[in-house]
Amino acid sequence: MKVPKFIIPAVVVIGVFLFQSLFIVQEINQAIVLQFGDPKKIISKAGLNFKLPFIQNDVNTEAKTLGIQIVDVRIKRADLPPANSDAIYKRMQTEREREAKEFRAKGAEMAVTITSTADKEVSIILADANKDSEIMKGEGDGERNKIFAEAFGRDPEFFAFYRAMQAYETALIGGETSLVLSPDSEFFKFFGKSIRPK
């Protein structure tokens, strides 16, 4: 009978797997099973034992022959003394406070810069607006004077009447100012006098 070719490699793999998984603890020994260097379990009874192949390894020790018995293997957390912990906490707190002061100082500096820039821009905008306003006012006054000049050129008598009416309105309407004038004053030249169109 011919043996299939894959049987031999399979038997070899299984044999290697079992060889790596099994170990024996002698009567006078104890064993520690390590996984990546960390202790996982202690075996004090003699006999055949199992471990994960290629991941765990065993260390046999003749502890009993030396009068030493391994009771337990534990890794304790290493804490600093309270005085050291307090000093570290205070140092961290001081560092955070220093960083907070730096951030606040930078923020205040940025606020001053932004405020100064905004004030400068407002001043420029107001100056430009006043300049434009004065230009427009001057143009309006010029246009008004031009219209008045044209009106005066067309009808000087009506223009004089119109200016007199404006003076009457300013002097006589509203306010508590008393005005004493002679009836034949130039100010009253249009009172009792009609203006007829030409």
Residue ranges per domain, the chain? 7-66, 82-173
Q: What is the DSSP string of 132-183?
A: HHHHHHHHHHHHHHHHHHHHHHH-HHHHHHHHHHHHHHHHHSSSS------T
84-101 mean pLDDT = 88
- Could you give the CA distance from residue 152 to residue 165 in angstroms, rounded to a whole number? 15
- Could you give the CA distance from residue 59 to residue 71 in angstroms, rounded to a whole number? 15
- Residues 161, 194 contacting (CB under 8 angstroms): no
Q: What is the pLDDT of residues 30-86, one digit of tens each?
A: 787 888 878 888 877 888 887 877 777 777 766 555 455 555 556 555 566 777 778
**pTM flag (> 0.75):** no
pLDDT exceeds 50 at position 196:
no
- Residues 148, 158 contacting (CB under 8 angstroms): no
- Could you give the CA distance from residue 49 to residue 40 in angstroms, rounded to a whole number? 14
137-159 mean pLDDT = 80
Is the CA virtual torsion 15, 17, 19, 25 positive or negative?
negative
Mode of pairing for the β-strands spanning 30-35 and 38-43: antiparallel
Among 110-114, 172-176, 179-183, 190-194, the range of highest mean pLDDT? 110-114
- Residues 31, 61 contacting (CB under 8 angstroms): yes
